[in-house]
Structure 1
Amino acid sequence: MSVFAVKKVAPIKKIAQLWSYRELIYQLTRRDLLARYKGSYLGFAWALLTPLVMLFIYSFIFVIVFKLKWGLGTEESKTLYTLMIFSGLIPFYIFSESINRSLVLISGNPNYIKKVVFPLEILPISLVISTIINNIFGLILLLVAKLVFLQTPSLPLLLIPILFVPLIFLSLGLAFAFSALGAYIRDLTHSIALVVNMLFYMSPIFYQTSIVPEPFRSIVNINPLTSIIEQWRDVILLGRGIDYGQYGISLFTSVIVLAIGYFIFQYLRKGFSDVI
């Protein structure tokens, strides 16, 4: 039997096992972050420049060209709209990057699959952690802009770590699933890229959910990112507390996705060495 065969392990014991791998997770995360910008003159500055450039482009299109505003038609609403876009882009980038990179995670690390006994489940974990750290620069910029341009309460910013929990669980669950499926189905890269692009416009990044026509609003609300993005805006930019009813549904959904994704990963891992 393969050393990677699925073993029935109690959830608490499995969490304890993952905790024992924390140093290895740290090293893999660090290696991934350094590899992103290896040989680059600007290095980690790209982590800040990339979202800034994309924010400029989207702001030009939607604020300058289409003259869209958030809320009242005032000059302040233009600034608010720009920040609303930015607050939606950050969680979406974490989500989409985690999924897109996970598709080639197993095939891109054949040495871990074939040559050594290795806890493969830490690969998606380190990938998601690396993705979050890479996008923290954008979050810091958003917080600075909020403090400078918006006169909204800042105390709710202490809730930001809580906001990350559903996003992490959702991203990690899909990273587990797609990293395993991607090892078997190479065409998945193209199909998932299409789905992610659809989710980009189906997520309330450039618009409020309330303006979506009623017959289509349920479609937008099915998207698990909708609740996450709206919670980010309410807490970070508008200075509101967390809607714990909405948050509870989002957290429950993300936990289910994580459990299913982890099950798929553990079920399919026994055949990784045969397809890589």
Structure 2
Amino acid sequence: MSIINDLRASRELLYNLTMREVKGKYKRTALGQLWSLANPLALMLVYSFVFAFIIRVQPDPGDPSGMNIFALWLMCGLLPWAFFSNVVNGGMSALVGNENLIKKVYFPRSALLVSNSLSWLYSWSIEMAVLAVAIALLGGMPYLYIIPTILLMALLTLFATGAAMIMAIANVHFRDTQYLVGILFQIWFYANPIVYPAAMVAKVSDSLGSFHGITVLSAYRLNPFYHFIEAFRNLLYDNRLPDASTCAIVLVLSLGVFLIGWRVFDRYQPRLAEVL
């Protein structure tokens, strides 16, 4: 548990790095942290126009909330995805971008990755709070599931941090990683039920049937992020707790990816200064 011990012993450093990331994103801007809402709002407008009015994607109303507002349904999946991609992309550049600092002085290298995750968590929390208020004003009851939502956000943070640790180490040894991951994330975005409902995949799966017992839907559900999106929509849009199977999958994925990422990072951390 060397990473945990290092972080515990350098709490002040971790706090300072996190605040540096938070303040540095929108330094010398008039709106400051309000800019963190600009990108998701712009994406919401674009995707809502394209998929709700042109392609006419029609998700089922929230069950049991009865909500039928595409923009809110979209944001329940888009905000978690944006947080995850920001943490991983930021984590990949955290080590390479601080090469001079790593070579000059010793400090827990994991603090760079954790502070990156915490800074994005800060911005994401603001976005999720605004989304929850919007849902409540339009008839939903997300306030009944605040604690489960916070727990789910914590699990996604672990999942994203673990993935960022793995990708950060890979990017140190193979600098093309960041470009490959960028392409992967563009493809992965549309492999998630973010701008379209999973029910559309189910219909296609039913029409194609199975191949050696494997259906399109069963293969589709192997996507780990699918379960996070379903869980967030259940809590915020449907206003109900996710199924026990979804909760179990999300818990195992979060802890498993974080522990794997921690082990990989802990193994290569002592030689980072040499490799860089």
Give 1:230's aligned residue: 230
Give 2:129's aligned residue: 140
The one of 24, 32, 50 aligned to 1:43: 32
The one of 66, 73, 80 aligned to 1:91: 80
CA distance in 2, matches of 1:250, 1:158: 16
Is 1:211 the counterpart of 2:200 in the alignment? yes
User: Any unmatched runs of 5+ in structure 1?
Assistant: 1-10
The one of 161, 178, 182 aligned to 1:172: 161
CA distance in 2, matches of 1:239, 1:59: 22
Once superposed, what is the RMSD of the aligned Cα atoms?
2.0
Give 1:121's aligned residue: 110
Question: For the Cα contact (< 8 Å) 2:165–2:262, is it kept in 1?
Answer: yes
Once the two structures are TM-superposed, the CA of residue 102 in structure 1 deviates from its matched residue by 1.4
Give 1:163's aligned residue: 152
Once the two structures are TM-superposed, the CA of residue 78 in structure 1 deviates from its matched residue by 9.0
Once the two structures are TM-superposed, the CA of residue 244 in structure 1 deviates from its matched residue by 2.8
Equivalent positions of 1:37-76 (< 5 A) are: 37-71=26-60
SS at match of 2:93: coil
Question: For the Cα contact (< 8 Å) 1:88–1:205, is it kept in 2?
Answer: yes
Q: Which residue identity does 1:139 align to in structure 2?
A: M
Give 1:249's aligned residue: 249
Question: For the Cα contact (< 8 Å) 2:36–2:123, is it kept in 1?
Answer: yes
Cα 1:266/1:18, change in 2 over 3 Å: same
SS at match of 1:41: coil
Is 1:185 the counterpart of 2:174 in the alignment? yes
Question: For the Cα contact (< 8 Å) 1:150–1:237, is it kept in 2?
Answer: no
SS at match of 1:117: coil
Is 1:275 the counterpart of 2:264 in the alignment? no
Q: Tell me the percent identity.
A: 28
The one of 8, 16, 20 aligned to 1:19: 8
Q: Which residue identity does 1:262 align to in structure 2?
A: W
Question: For the Cα contact (< 8 Å) 2:66–2:238, is it kept in 1?
Answer: no
CA distance in 2, matches of 1:189, 1:14: 24
Residue range with higher mean Cα deviation, 244-253 or 186-195:
244-253
- Give the number of equivalent residue pairs: 262
Give 2:220's aligned residue: 220
Question: For the Cα contact (< 8 Å) 1:157–1:239, is it kept in 2?
Answer: no
Which whole-Å deviations, capped at 9, do the CAs of 1:178-211 have from their partners, x for residues lacking one?
1111111111111000111111111111222232
Which whole-Å deviations, capped at 9, do the CAs of 1:106-154 have from their partners, x for residues lacking one?
1111233111110111111111111111122221221111111134464
Give 1:266's aligned residue: 266
CA distance in 2, matches of 1:268, 1:17: 15
User: Any unmatched runs of 5+ in structure 2?
Assistant: 206-214
Residue range with higher mean Cα deviation, 203-212 or 221-230:
203-212
Is 1:130 the counterpart of 2:119 in the alignment? yes
Residue range with higher mean Cα deviation, 50-59 or 136-145:
136-145
TM-score with structure 1 length normalisation?
0.88
Cα 1:114/1:14, change in 2 over 3 Å: closer
CA distance in 2, matches of 1:247, 1:98: 22
Question: For the Cα contact (< 8 Å) 2:80–2:229, is it kept in 1?
Answer: yes
CA distance in 2, matches of 1:124, 1:54: 26
CA distance in 2, matches of 1:103, 1:16: 23
CA distance in 2, matches of 1:186, 1:14: 24
Question: For the Cα contact (< 8 Å) 2:136–2:142, is it kept in 1?
Answer: no
TM-score with structure 2 length normalisation?
0.88
Cα 1:155/1:78, change in 2 over 3 Å: closer
SS at match of 2:59: coil
CA distance in 1, matches of 2:217, 2:139: 29
